[in-house]
């Protein structure tokens, strides 16, 4: 009978892995602990649980334990609301702990903050107990998820003394979701938010989304596209937002909304949206009051103003400070924030697009109200496979500067390319701005440790949609996971994050972990090689950004055209941003500017970002620029082939369906890597007029073929009302 | 240990029912057979399986058994490819059966057709064996699904002699899916077809979709919106269609595409799409050849022409026969079909819209080529909660007339209202056209038994999207299921179908089945009552058809306005379609026309469809028309309240999450039923100038409030390029 039941269980679980909905559970799939010794140890640690408190957050903690432990340990947990002698795992705030336990927590608690937690093994008489404690229940929730993660990763739970707290305050997902459920730059289906069925219908998925975020410490979400629609601020929609906010609240997640600057006109019936007009000021104040009466823990507004056609204060001859501070005043009485995006470049400014955000914003340093954060993309152009860090980081010491990463792969192959983004994030976070001398990394700017900012934040543009597996590509889940982990602690190692994610998602088997971790951490360099090597950027096809379009030149604004960015001609290729060119390098601290200015000291991965160089310019390895460029493209293709090879050997470690799924996606990635190589090299060859070097495969088609490809229904394009 | 494992299994399964993806498995969730006696009997019947053959369809049969039996019976099946003495269940075509078994199948096999099957218990020496046989492997697949369904419904598998075959040839889903994955009139998320990732990436969902269809006998799908985009016929998209067709083929499903009549211009570079132009003829012939070279079992084209702005032969002064036959000739060499929709009403024809399809098409009877089917909506207007049957049924004896039902709830509350549609389908199928004398039901027209058509078909506009549970509302799955069952056999009883579906989806417990079946079969009358009682129709708000809009009057075409359909004024309400009015009744056979013409013999459910009657007209129950109308609206609301009550008592029989989900949806349905009642009665009251009768609740708001409601992002609207 035992065998039979085991068999049944095996079939049920196999079935789950096969034809149900693989990937839905993300890194929280709580696979059975098959290490016998650890299983026993975990059993012991969870013999009897005491979870103190009655709030919705405490209920969420209990729910998670009741969901996880039966799967991890084949055991339904016994959960009490009081600490007993036999309690083996105690989860309680410091205030709620019995005094004999509380006294075992020393000064460490002083630095915990509102969201930190302690996981500590203590001895009471002869019994070892594991205690999860924190100042707040949200801290307990985070601690609970950490305990479960430790089990999932087969870490010991004995002799623990783990103290952790987030280094950044606002750890946020930005959903670019439209009210019709299309998602701008979304490649994982459509928006999770089913506005039609809200507020009455609360999809279980909303809860699972909140669980996933809480498990990695994400505590804020902006629900709507930064290319905003004012209707979200009308009573009918606010009732729906309220329902989502209520669902997320137990998980410590605050809701933000994108505020269209012209909303006072569009839904308020005013004739102006001038931020200094008293009626406009009153309208926003009343709107803020209305929102907070519905959603007491509302986060605030995220605003894209005077950028790519969005309205803003400049429409009324006011500036960003006028606009942001007006909204900030409306939110301040409710402790709400304004997150004001710095992604601006003007059709009236002929200067290098890379310079414009800095030029426009840095003079305002110190002028924004305390509840304003300025959200800056990681690089000065737009989420390219590789960009040098944005010069604004460290350049506004009296401003709350917030990071904006992109988790969705607008310029990185949509959801069909396996590209492990935490590697990219890490590169940016570790970059040294030199703004306060050597060691002034972007991470230190962001967490306030360099310049003392009082509110800190990191946002990621979500890669989440209603695909069964949330992110389209199973490995896209690692980007969501990794973003959350780095927002919690921007000093974490991306390789360690990959390790965690692989163990929790797939397997703890080293024969799987080692090669796949290697595949992940090298995947980002692969995409740079086959799309944008040596500092090339923004040579994507127009509008949808799917595939190569280095030849595109006919768009109305010069800086929308790839030819603007690569500047290829018979003399060479690259954008001169040194003093002999746009002088964008002057926006960096002097040691950085000097390094970038000289092609000999400029890191080669940024070479053509900062320099226009002749085709026969000699690279560090002795190759000519043309040959080196061509070989980088080929290398990228080869790297994808290697990824395919690696994955092919992984059949023993994942289900047949998981294996097949990633295989199909790698087939697409390989096809498209070749497409990038062939299209770009054929096009640049019209300028270099040189043969492809040995080792670079001949293109499958001619240039005209690649130029003829059209994708009118590529996903993620901008909604048509913008 | 046994208890522990049972407990674990319980938790795993409970977990499945809770926070994974409830509803994804549809009616194929293969719950464990908890009736001990039957479980033993099924165990015995499946001791050893012999499944003969090697094709992909045979593999699909094996896969299904391997998926189902472990869950139903806690047992992994032993499947052999040869018949052995111990074989207890044999699945093989008649040709493949060993002769000693084959001889036990008598003349019954003559009428099986290509898709029928026999499930028969036979004795070989002293052993009872269950044999599933058919002429084709698709028949075996259908037979296998039937065996599993019998188990799911706790039917005996002993002494079986079940012979079944479909009564209709083409059993088809029409997806109104656009290439950007929006779905016209789709309320269950977005299109299943991920064109961006095709052809390489085959979503497991495509396979599960095919399994679900095959389980109920659906054998054809049109992938794309009838408001068509010609790009689907370009090589890039045809490669993607090929991949889907290949995935569906083992399940007996043929793919159709919608063909935009102007495609020769839009993608062919021609200057005309005139169906008599030789270049156009050649273009379609070449296109058909190209498609069949990729997809040998391609079904054919579904065409909406000269209807609601779609191009067609009339743009060139040709007629529907010219257009359909031209395409039919292109497809005939490959055995493909043209399905030509009869849903036409012209902006140049001031006649009653209800008459126009009949007027335009009936004169063409006998003129269409043999591989043309004319697809007619169930009623003459447009998928209303209730319509009299379309007068074209039975009126074109020399034409292949195909039914078009709508499964998606465009006019029935989207995916938030529980309305069991097979009840509606049944009403239409049982309607007597009298075209060949009494007993000339629509079902007999459709299956060819009345007038001898050689190809027969029934299409349903799909309610399927990428929502986790496929149909948005869990009970929407019953409409998909029921449509398939009725397409297989249009004489089935809708109540029996509900019974099957409930048992397979939820529970075999009679205490659940009886009340919920009752709730389902009465739900259709409820929606008629609270939306469109007494023959009212098309009083929906404009464009999106979400909620009431009886006041809408300003649209450019008269027949797009609700006021056109209800004709309410101070004298009364209703559309006079008798000889004193539009004389639409003359399109019906004489006994039917006579019945409809006289308000005393006209069934009251069609009263205002055919008659304009004074507000004090006396209904059969003695009430005035105004009071009767008001009470019908109230009754509809009360019926939804009753549904809520019924469901509230069902907690013991479904999971907490299933219970909560349906509860939330019923909350919306109740709210919207009241909205319909209040908005319509307030509006009609401006004409009747009478008080609401006793028992009808006072409206919550005034009429202006209801008129002010706007829903710019209601789902399912027409794509913006049409």
A720 touches chain B (CB under 8 A): yes
Position B390 in a domain = yes
DSSP string across A162-197: EEE--SSSEEEEE--B-TTS-BTT--SSS-S--TTT
B5 touches chain A (CB under 8 A): yes
Closest Cα in chain A, distance from residue B233 (Å): 14
Position B464 in a domain = yes
The reply to whether residue B468 touches residue A76, judged by beta carbons under 8 angstroms, is no
The reply to whether residue A70 touches residue B657, judged by beta carbons under 8 angstroms, is no
| Per-residue confidence (pLDDT) for residue A719, from 0 to 100 | 65
A666 touches chain B (CB under 8 A): no
Structure confidence at residue B6 as a pLDDT band (50, 70, 90): very low
Among all residues of chain A, which has the CA nearest to that of B234?
Answer: A710
Domain count, chain B: 3
Q: Which of A2, A3, A10, A12 to probe by mutation at the B interface, max B CB count within 10 Å?
A: A12
Q: Is the pLDDT of residue B20 over 90?
A: no
How would you write A220-273 as a 3-class SS string? EEECCCCCCCHHHHCHHHHHHHHHHHHHHHHHCCEEEEECCCCHHHHCCCCCCC
Q: Is the pLDDT of residue B7 over 90?
A: no
One domain for residues A147 and A215: no
Q: Is the pLDDT of residue B26 over 50?
A: yes
Q: Which of B230, B713, B716 to probe by mutation at the A interface, max A CB count within 10 Å?
A: B713
Among all residues of chain A, which has the CA nearest to that of B468?
Answer: A468
The reply to whether residue A11 touches residue B187, judged by beta carbons under 8 angstroms, is no
Q: Is the pLDDT of residue B8 over 90?
A: no
Nearest to A135 by CA among A114, A161, A151, A156: A114
Active site (catalytic) residues of B: 308, 382, 410
One domain for residues A355 and A476: yes
Nearest to A714 by CA among A383, A414, A470: A414
One domain for residues A134 and A176: no
One domain for residues A557 and A699: yes
| Per-residue confidence (pLDDT) for residue B14, from 0 to 100 | 39
The reply to whether residue A668 touches residue B20, judged by beta carbons under 8 angstroms, is no
Count of beta carbons in the 10 Å neighbourhood of residue A612 = 21
DSSP designation for A693: P
**Structural domain that includes position B126:** 31-164
Measured between alpha carbons, how far apart are the two ends of chain B, in Å? 64
Please, what are the averages of pLDDT over each run of 10 residues along chain A (722 residues)?
46 41 90 96 96 98 97 93 96 96 84 95 92 98 98 96 97 98 97 98 97 98 98 98 98 98 98 98 98 98 96 98 98 98 89 96 98 98 98 98 98 98 98 98 98 98 97 98 98 98 97 98 98 98 96 90 96 98 98 98 98 98 98 98 98 95 98 98 98 97 98 86 48
One domain for residues B208 and B329: yes
Position A5 in a domain = no
Q: Is the pLDDT of residue B348 over 70?
A: yes
| Per-residue confidence (pLDDT) for residue B19, from 0 to 100 | 37
A205 touches chain B (CB under 8 A): yes
Position A580 in a domain = no
A67 touches chain B (CB under 8 A): yes
**E-only strand ranges, A312-390:** 337-341, 372-377
Cis peptide before B36 (omega within 30 of 0): no
Q: Is the pLDDT of residue B22 over 80?
A: no
Closest Cα in chain B, distance from residue A73 (Å): 9
Q: What is the mean pLDDT of chain B?
A: 95
| Per-residue confidence (pLDDT) for residue A21, from 0 to 100 | 66
Arithmetic mean of pLDDT, B223-231: 98
Contact in structure between A141 and A148 (CB atoms under 8 Å): no
Nearest to B410 by CA among B313, B546, B301, B310: B546
Q: Which of A1, A2, A3, A11 to probe by mutation at the B interface, max B CB count within 10 Å?
A: A11
The reply to whether residue A70 touches residue B467, judged by beta carbons under 8 angstroms, is no
Q: Look up the pTM and report it.
A: 0.96
Query: Dihedral angle at the C-alpha atoms of A325, A330, A331, A335, nearest 10 degrees?
Result: 100
What is the CB-side half-sphere exposure of residue B330 using CA atoms within 13 A?
Answer: 28
| Per-residue confidence (pLDDT) for residue A3, from 0 to 100 | 46
The reply to whether residue A231 touches residue B8, judged by beta carbons under 8 angstroms, is no
Q: What is the CATH number of the domain that holds B346?
A: 3.20.20.80
pLDDT tens per residue, range B472-482: 999 999 999 99
Of A138, A164, A190, which residue constitutes the final position of a domain? A164
Q: Is the pLDDT of residue B286 over 50?
A: yes
- The SS3 assignment for B382 reads coil
One domain for residues A316 and A362: yes
B493 touches chain A (CB under 8 A): no
The reply to whether residue A22 touches residue B189, judged by beta carbons under 8 angstroms, is no
Position A6 in a domain = no
| Per-residue confidence (pLDDT) for residue B719, from 0 to 100 | 65
pLDDT tens per residue, range B72-121: 999 889 999 999 999 999 999 999 999 999 999 976 788 899 999 999 99
Q: Which residues contact A159 (CB under 8 A, 6 or more apart)?
A: A121
- Partners of B185 on chain A (C-beta within 8 Å) are none
- Chain B residues 400-419 with a CB less than 8 Å from chain A: 414, 416
Of B9, B414, B720, nearest to A8 by CB-CB distance is B9
Share of chain B above pLDDT 70, in %: 96
The reply to whether residue B11 touches residue A195, judged by beta carbons under 8 angstroms, is no
Among all residues of chain B, which has the CA nearest to that of A191?
Answer: B189
Position A713 in a domain = no
One domain for residues B248 and B388: yes
| Per-residue confidence (pLDDT) for residue B21, from 0 to 100 | 66
Query: Which ipTM was obtained for this model?
Result: 0.95
Q: Is the pLDDT of residue B571 over 60?
A: yes
| Per-residue confidence (pLDDT) for residue B2, from 0 to 100 | 45
Of B110, B136, B164, which residue constitutes the final position of a domain? B164
Residue A450 and residue A399: Cα distance in Å, rounded? 12
Across-strand partners of B618? B624
- Chain B residues 133-192 with a CB less than 8 Å from chain A: 179-182, 187, 189-190
∠ Cα B608 B583 B421 (to 5°): 45
- The SS3 assignment for B457 reads strand
Q: Which residues contact A669 (CB under 8 A, 6 or more apart)?
A: A413, A416, A417, A418, A640, A643
| Per-residue confidence (pLDDT) for residue A20, from 0 to 100 | 55
- Partners of B189 on chain A (C-beta within 8 Å) are 189-190, 466
One domain for residues A494 and A558: no
What is the CB-side half-sphere exposure of residue B345 using CA atoms within 13 A?
Answer: 16
∠ Cα A574 A575 A578 (to 5°): 120
Q: What is the CATH number of the domain that holds A641?
A: 3.90.1330.10
Residue A144 and residue A157: Cα distance in Å, rounded? 12
Position A604 in a domain = no
The widest CA-to-CA distance across chain A, in whole angstroms, is 82
DSSP string across A408-444: S-TTTTTTTS---THHHHHHHHH-B--BTBTT-BHHH
Nearest to B177 by CA among B468, B461, B416, B471: B461
Across-strand partners of A221? A173, A255
Q: What is the CATH number of the domain that holds B125?
A: 3.30.379.10
Of A164, A197, A232, which residue constitutes the final position of a domain? A164
- Chain B residues 670-709 with a CB less than 8 Å from chain A: 671
One domain for residues A57 and A98: yes
Position A685 in a domain = yes
One domain for residues B280 and B136: no
Residue B634 and residue B694: Cα distance in Å, rounded? 10
Active site (catalytic) residues of A: 308, 382, 410
Residue A706 and residue A573: Cα distance in Å, rounded? 21
Across-strand partners of A170? A457
The reply to whether residue B715 touches residue A196, judged by beta carbons under 8 angstroms, is yes
The reply to whether residue B671 touches residue A200, judged by beta carbons under 8 angstroms, is yes
One domain for residues A146 and A207: no
The reply to whether residue B713 touches residue A416, judged by beta carbons under 8 angstroms, is no
Burial of B540 (0-12, 13-18, 19+ CB in 10 A): buried
Closest Cα in chain A, distance from residue B31 (Å): 11
One domain for residues A408 and A382: yes
User: For B374-473, where are the alpha helices, taking DSSP H only?
Assistant: 422-430, 442-446
């Amino acid at each position: 009978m035992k065998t039979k039941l085991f068999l049944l269980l095996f079939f049920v679980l196999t079935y789950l892995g096969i034809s149900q909905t693989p990937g839905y559970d993300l890194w929280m799939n709580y696979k059975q602990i098959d290490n016998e010794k650890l299983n026993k140890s975990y059993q012991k640690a969870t013999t009897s649980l005491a979870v103190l408190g009655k709030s919705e957050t405490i209920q969420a903690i209990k729910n998670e334990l009741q969901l996880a432990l039966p799967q991890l340990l084949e055991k339904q947990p016994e959960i009490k609301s009081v600490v007993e002698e036999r309690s083996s795992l105690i989860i309680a705030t410091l205030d709620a702990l019995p005094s004999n336990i509380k006294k075992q927590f020393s000064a460490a608690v002083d630095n915990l903050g509102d969201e930190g937690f302690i996981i500590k093994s203590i001895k009471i008489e002869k019994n070892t107990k594991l205690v999860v404690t924190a100042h707040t229940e949200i801290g307990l929730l985070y601690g609970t998820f950490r305990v479960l993660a430790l089990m999932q990763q087969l870490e010991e739970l004995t002799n623990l003394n783990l103290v952790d707290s987030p280094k950044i305050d606002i750890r946020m997902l930005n959903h670019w979701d439209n009210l019709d459920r299309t998602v701008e730059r979304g490649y994982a289906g459509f928006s999770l938010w089913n506005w039609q069925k809200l507020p009455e219908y609360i999809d279980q998925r909303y809860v699972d989304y909140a669980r996933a975020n809480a498990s990695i410490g994400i505590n804020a979400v902006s629900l709507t596209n930064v290319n905003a629609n004012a209707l979200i601020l009308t009573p009918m929609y606010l009732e729906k937002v309220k329902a989502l906010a209520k669902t997320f609240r137990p998980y410590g997640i605050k809701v933000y909304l994108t505020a269209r600057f012209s909303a006072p006109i569009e839904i308020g019936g005013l004739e102006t949206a001038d931020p200094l007009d008293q009626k406009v000021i009153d309208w926003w104040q009343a709107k803020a009051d209305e929102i907070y009466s519905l959603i007491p823990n509302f986060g605030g507004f995220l605003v894209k103003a005077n950028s790519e056609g969005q309205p803003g204060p400049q429409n009324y001859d006011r500036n960003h400070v006028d606009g942001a501070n007006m909204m900030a005043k409306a939110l301040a009485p409710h402790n709400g924030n304004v997150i004001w995006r710095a992604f601006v470049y003007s059709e009236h400014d002929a200067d290098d697009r890379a310079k414009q955000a800095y030029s426009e914003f840095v003079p305002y340093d110190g002028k924004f109200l305390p509840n304003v954060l300025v959200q800056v993309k990681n690089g000065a152009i737009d989420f390219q496979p590789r960009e040098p860090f944005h010069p604004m980081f460290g350049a506004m010491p009296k401003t709350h500067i917030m990071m904006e990463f992109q988790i969705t792969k607008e310029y990185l192959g949509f959801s069909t390319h396996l590209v492990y983004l935490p590697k990219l994030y890490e590169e940016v976070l570790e970059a040294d701005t030199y703004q306060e001398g050597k060691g002034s990394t972007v991470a230190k700017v962001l967490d306030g440790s360099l310049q003392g900012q009082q509110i800190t934040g990191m946002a990621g543009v979500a890669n989440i949609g209603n695909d069964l597996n949330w992110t389209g590509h199973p490995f896209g889940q690692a980007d969501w996971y990794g973003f959350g982990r780095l927002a919690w602690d921007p000093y974490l190692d991306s390789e360690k994050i990959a390790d965690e994610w692989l163990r929790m998602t797939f397997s703890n088997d080293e024969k799987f972990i080692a090669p796949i971790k290697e595949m992940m951490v090298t995947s980002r360099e692969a995409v740079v090689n086959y799309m944008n090597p040596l500092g090339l950027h923004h040579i994507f096809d127009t509008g949808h950004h799917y595939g190569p379009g280095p030849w595109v030149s006919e768009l109305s604004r010069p800086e929308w055209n790839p030819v603007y960015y690569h500047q290829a001609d018979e003399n060479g290729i690259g954008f001169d941003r040194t003093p002999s060119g746009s002088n964008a390098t002057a926006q960096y601290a002097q040691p950085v500017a000097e390094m970038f200015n000289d092609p000999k000291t400029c890191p080669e991965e940024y070479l053509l970002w900062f320099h226009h160089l002749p085709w026969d310019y000699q690279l560090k390895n002795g190759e000519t620029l043309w040959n080196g460029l061509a070989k980088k493209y080929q290398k990228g293709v080869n790297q994808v082939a290697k990824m395919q090879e690696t994955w092919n050997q992984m059949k023993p470690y994942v289900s047949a369906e998981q294996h097949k799924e990633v295989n199909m996606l790698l087939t697409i990635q390989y096809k498209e890597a070749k497409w990038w190589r062939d299209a770009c090299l054929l096009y640049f060859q019209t300028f270099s007029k040189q043969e492809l070097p040995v080792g670079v495969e001949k293109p499958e088609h001619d240039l005209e073929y690649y130029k003829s490809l059209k994708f009118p229904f590529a996903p993620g394009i901008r909604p048509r009302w913008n």
